[in-house]
C-alpha cells in the first residue's frame, strides 16, 4: 500500500509539473517574436572594392508562425548601417561653432521566411530566405554645436538610390529565459542589383565642402552581414491547458 500510494503521488506531482510547464509555454493563442540586433556590414565584390570601409549599425525584425504544425515563420526585417563620413567644424567671429557632416548610410528592408529543422538540442539552428531593397543614402547635416547645443540647422540628401536585394541567412538561437527570451546569432549574404552611391576619393586632402571628398560610383551591391541580438516572445490572446491539448493532440482515437 505504501509503495502504491508513493508512486501514485509521484505521478500526480509529475503531471502537475508537466501541466504547469505547458501552461507557461503555451498560455496564448497567437505569438509574435520581436528581435533587436547589432550588426556589421562587409561590402562584397565590386561594391567592396569601391567602399573600403566596414559598416556598422542596428536592426530589428518581427516574426510570426505561418502554420501551427510547421516550423516555418514569416516576417519583416529592417536595419541601417553607417559607412564612411566626413565632418568639418567652423567657428565664427561671434564664437559660434557649427559642424557640417556628410554621412553614407545603407538602409536594409527585407521580407523573410525562416525554417527551423527538427533537432532535439538546446541550440536551435535555422535557415532563412530574404527579399527586399537596399537604400543607398548620402546626407549632409549642419549642426549648431555652440555651448553644446547640438541643434540641427539644415539637412539635405546628396544622393538616394534603391537596389533590389535577394539572399539568404543561417543562424541559431539559444534560450536565455525559457520560451520567452533568446540569443539570436545570424550571418546573411545579400546579393544586390546595381545602384548609385558615393565613395571616398583617393585624393581627398583638398576640399571646401564635405561632399567634395566623395564621388559617385555605380555597381552591384552585394553585402555580407553578421549580427548578434536577442529575440522576445510576445503572446496574443489566451489559451488554457485543455485547449492546448485539444489543438495539439497528435494521435487518432480510432487507432487506439
Q: How confident is the prediction along the chain (256 residues), in pLDDT tens digits per residue?
A: 444 333 444 444 444 444 444 444 445 566 789 999 999 999 999 999 999 899 999 999 999 999 878 899 999 999 999 999 999 998 888 888 999 999 999 999 999 999 999 888 889 999 999 999 999 999 999 999 888 778 888 999 999 999 999 999 999 999 998 778 999 999 999 999 999 999 999 887 777 889 999 999 999 999 999 999 999 988 766 654 455 445 545 434 444 3
Indicate yes or no: pTM above 0.75. yes
Report yes or no: 187 and 169 within 8 Å, Cβ to Cβ: yes
Assign 147 to helix, strand or coil.
Answer: helix
Q: Which three cell numbers stand for residue 12?
A: 500526480
Residue 86: C-alpha distances to residues 51, 116, 214, 222, 240 (Å): 14, 43, 9, 24, 58
CB atoms within 10 A of CB 197: 25
Give me the architecture of the 28-249 domain, per CATH: Beta Barrel (2.40)
- Are 144 and 154 contacting, i.e. CB atoms less than 8 angstroms apart? no
Amino acid at each position: 500500500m505504501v509503495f502504491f500510494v508513493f508512486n501514485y503521488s509521484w505521478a500526480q506531482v509529475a503531471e502537475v509539473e508537466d501541466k504547469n510547464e505547458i501552461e507557461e509555454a503555451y498560455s496564448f493563442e497567437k505569438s509574435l517574436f520581436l528581435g533587436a540586433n547589432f550588426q556589421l556590414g562587409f561590402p562584397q565584390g565590386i561594391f567592396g572594392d569601391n567602399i573600403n570601409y566596414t559598416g556598422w549599425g542596428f536592426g530589428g525584425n518581427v516574426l510570426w508562425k505561418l502554420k501551427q504544425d510547421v516550423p516555418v515563420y514569416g516576417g519583416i526585417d529592417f536595419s541601417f548601417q553607417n559607412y564612411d563620413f566626413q565632418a568639418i567644424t567652423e567657428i565664427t567671429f561671434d564664437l559660434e561653432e557649427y559642424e557640417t557632416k556628410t554621412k553614407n548610410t545603407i538602409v536594409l528592408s527585407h521580407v523573410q521566411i525562416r525554417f527551423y529543422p527538427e533537432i532535439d538540442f538546446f541550440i536551435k539552428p535555422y535557415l532563412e530566405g530574404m527579399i527586399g531593397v537596399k537604400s543607398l543614402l548620402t546626407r549632409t547635416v549642419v549642426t549648431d554645436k555652440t555651448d553644446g547645443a547640438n541643434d540641427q540647422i539644415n539637412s539635405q540628401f546628396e544622393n538616394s538610390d534603391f537596389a533590389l536585394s535577394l539572399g539568404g541567412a543561417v543562424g541559431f538561437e539559444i534560450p536565455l529565459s525559457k520560451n520567452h527570451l533568446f540569443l539570436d546569432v545570424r550571418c546573411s549574404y545579400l546579393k544586390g542589383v546595381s545602384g548609385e552611391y558615393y565613395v571616398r576619393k583617393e585624393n581627398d586632402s583638398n576640399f571646401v565642402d564635405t561632399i567634395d571628398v566623395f564621388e559617385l560610383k555605380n555597381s552591384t551591391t552585394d553585402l555580407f552581414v553578421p549580427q548578434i541580438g536577442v529575440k522576445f516572445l510576445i503572446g496574443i490572446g489566451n489559451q488554457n491547458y485543455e485547449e492546448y491539448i485539444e489543438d495539439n493532440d497528435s494521435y487518432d482515437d480510432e487507432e487506439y
